[in-house]
Structure 1
């Protein structure tokens, strides 16, 4: 007898044929129509979409849910957000960081997001947030895969203690090397930080995820150096450039050179649509730049492009519920990716592409993958993007983690009662 069978599932990325998904010992062991088997738990998906869990490739767990401390970001700019965060940091304690992180993780589970890569600010001599979030990593492990990036928010060279603190954070067990080259005092320092951080990662056998060129300045070109150093240190496929918003403002000739360099390095690209379009272009009058990196062109060139939520109710962003379908939906709108294949690509940007960027093992909807599954009240990926529907079931290693009743609205139309679910057939 199996532990779980989800019957009559429409499999994300698969054909229209309904299948049954059999799970045992936390793994998917069978996917086929009309599976002849019994299970301790059977759930009839009723033709609804079943997906591997959502993946948030870029987040800031230490800052989440601090909106309004000590005040809100009135200008809406990245730099005011950084200044506000500098004021918030001295007021934090471990209990507060952990309480907010656990609350956010429960929101994530409710939305079917079971993997998160979070940057943690290491520019604090006590490494308070590092220690607190490393505890959270272990505490949420039964429910969510949480990766931490050692992030020198105040600049790897700009902050005189950052190099020592970043190494200490890695020694404590932080998983990924981070950076922010465009925030250094000069382009030269930014390039030097890329080299130093990539070498550090190569020496330790770690991945890299760098806030890179999060700027409206088309001359912010640190991603070129990131691609070069990725190849030089043999880190292909293990390095992510996050944000890359300056690419939105670069001239097309330079980009025609840059994208092949990025592809040669197998650079992972992480866009953050909600935050990129909120923070960028703030100095423009009209026309206003959108700010999001060239997602469509990067995907067309064969690069793995994932998307992150980045922020939820913090000094940089005053909204959000950590719903990755909202992220993908915003990305397809801003990137003008409304073709059928393009919309499915955007669904992948918050699922399989994110898993690839994070290096997750045994992720997916195939036999031999972890039985981490999300049942959505939609018939396919495009309908899920349109409706951002209820997550009817969320399973972690084959065990029920979250559930929501099917959502309908009754409209009283004269003498008729109409049940509305917003489906398009």
Structure 2
């Protein structure tokens, strides 16, 4: 397959991208192509941007499309959502076949928006392992068009939930790709710290990365992010360590942030931030001014700390909306982080391509010769315009094969 007349980052002229098998074989200036050089498998990008496939670094596919059962979240709070999810499991609604079907629908929706790689957190504080088994099967079945990583996620805690630690061990033994955690929901601060040390031990034992729900709470005293950085630094696991959410950072004092940010940068840890969902869940109960409850992405980025913007949930007790469209999340993230300046708008796709790819441990995540052919053509001439217009993905290629394609939207005026 050959893509003609594509615009790629840091290249002033249009290029032709030749794909052979699963790799990009060559990238050449379009101006050098002969007018008579036409092939049946050519795709004319017509000056539109080519970019690596989007990567979704934090989502809960086992929760997808479950909103309203067994009841709706009337308060909109995180803690009511956790209670509803626990009731769903206890009341027999958590069924493997149903979970798998709903998760597949969510994964397909993401793929339609150009996502080719997903890291999904899967609740393993469920002795039936229905969610884990459903997603493990799905991981294998969709591999041709989407590569899924499974995080063993103890939604109800490893100490707060009886037997939670054993279930985590079982999940890793059964083939989970990543160790998850949720220290701020453990019974005490000391229990939360102990849980993180235990989880890092588990990750080291299985030679797996770690991705922890960290400080997802409106509490300036929730400071497990510093423990994450310290453990990662001590074990030389920074590049394999992801801090997810960390909304409490939005409440930290300037003095504490001044001490914390250098430690985070030195540890080489990475962040996954879910702006839409945490704008919805956080800040409830305040009379005003209402805090945004989103990690300080701009400060993290200025310190060279990689941040990914992520969906988190799709139509579930935690978030009744969501379309799995990374461009929508990117737009919200840039707005809430005060990053609509030229130095950020030139390369905003980093938040939904290279940065999340780094979270997932993916190498060569770029459009270059001899790299995997995982790329998109987007109906826009540049990244800023794509974000501004929420431009459609016209072509998505995974491992050299077309996953989805669509025609550009056509508008007809009646006047």
TM class, shorter-length: over 0.9
State the Cα deviation string for residues 326-360 of structure 1 (Å, max 9, x = none): 01000001011101221345321111111011101
Of Structure 1 and Structure 2, which has the larger fraction of its residues in strand? Answer: 1
2:227 matched to 1:225?
yes
Q: Taking structure 1 as reference, are residues 168 and 38 closer, same or farther at Cα in structure 2, changes over 3 Å only?
A: farther
RMSD of Structure 2 on Structure 1 (CA): 1.2
- Aligned counterpart, 1:397: 399
Which secondary structure does the structure 1 equivalent of 2:76 belong to?
Answer: coil
Aligned counterparts, 1:84-99, within 5 A: 84-89=84-89, 90-99=92-101
- 1:7 equivalenced with 2:9 (yes/no): no
CA apart distance, 1:408: 2.4
User: Which of 290, 310, 313 is residue 308 of structure 1 equivalent to?
Assistant: 310
Does 2:120 align with 1:124? no
Q: 1:63 to 1:344 in 2, by over 3 A?
A: farther
Unaligned 5+ segments in structure 2 are none
Shift of 1:200: 1.3
Aligned position for 1:298: 300
**In structure 2, what is the Cα distance between the partners aligned to 1:356 and 1:142?**
21
Alignment of 1:319-358 (within 5 A): 319-358=321-360
Output aligned runs, 1:370-385, within 5 Å: 370-385=372-387
Whether the aligned pair in 1 keeps the contact of 2:172 and 2:206 (CA below 8 Å) is no
Q: Tell me, which stretches of 5 or more residues in structure 1 are unaligned?
A: 414-425
1:83-102 deviations in Å (ceiling 9; x for gaps): 11112223121111111111
Which of 22, 27, 43 in structure 1 is aligned with 2:23?
A: 27
Secondary structure in 1 matching 2:41: strand
Q: How far has the Cα of 1:67 moved from its partner?
A: 1.3
For 1:38 and 1:160, the matched residues in 2 are separated by 65
Alpha-carbon contact 2:61-2:107 (below 8 Å) kept: no
CA distance in 2, matches of 1:381, 1:366: 18
CA gap of 1:262–1:365, structure 2 versus 1, over 3 A, is same
Scaled by the length of structure 2, the TM-score of the pair is 0.96
Aligned partner of 2:112 in structure 1 is 110
Instruction: Give the aligned length.
Output: 409
String of CA shifts for 1:366-402, please: whole Å, max 9, x gaps. 1122111111111111111111111111111222111
Q: Which of 343, 366, 369 is the matching residue for 1:367?
A: 369
Which range is displaced more, 360-369 or 54-63? 360-369
Q: Could you tell me whether the CA contact under 8 Å between 2:238 and 2:270 is conserved in 1?
A: no
Residues 82-134 of structure 1: per-residue CA shift (max 9 Å, x gap): 11111222312111111111111111111001111000000011211111110
Of 76-85 and 341-350, more deviation after overlay is shown by 341-350
Task: State whether residues 81 and 316 of structure 1, in contact with CA within 8 Å, keep that contact through their aligned partners in structure 2.
Answer: yes
For residues 152 and 336 of structure 2, the distance between their equivalents in structure 1, rounded to whole angstroms, comes to 30
Separation (CA, whole Å) in 2 of partners of 1:39 and 1:194:
56
Determine helix, strand or coil for the equivalent of 1:237.
helix
Question: CA shift at 1:38, angstroms?
Answer: 6.5
Match of 2:56 in 1: 56
| Greater alpha carbon shift after TM alignment, 138-147 vs 83-92 | 83-92
Distance 1:182 1:51 in 2: 37
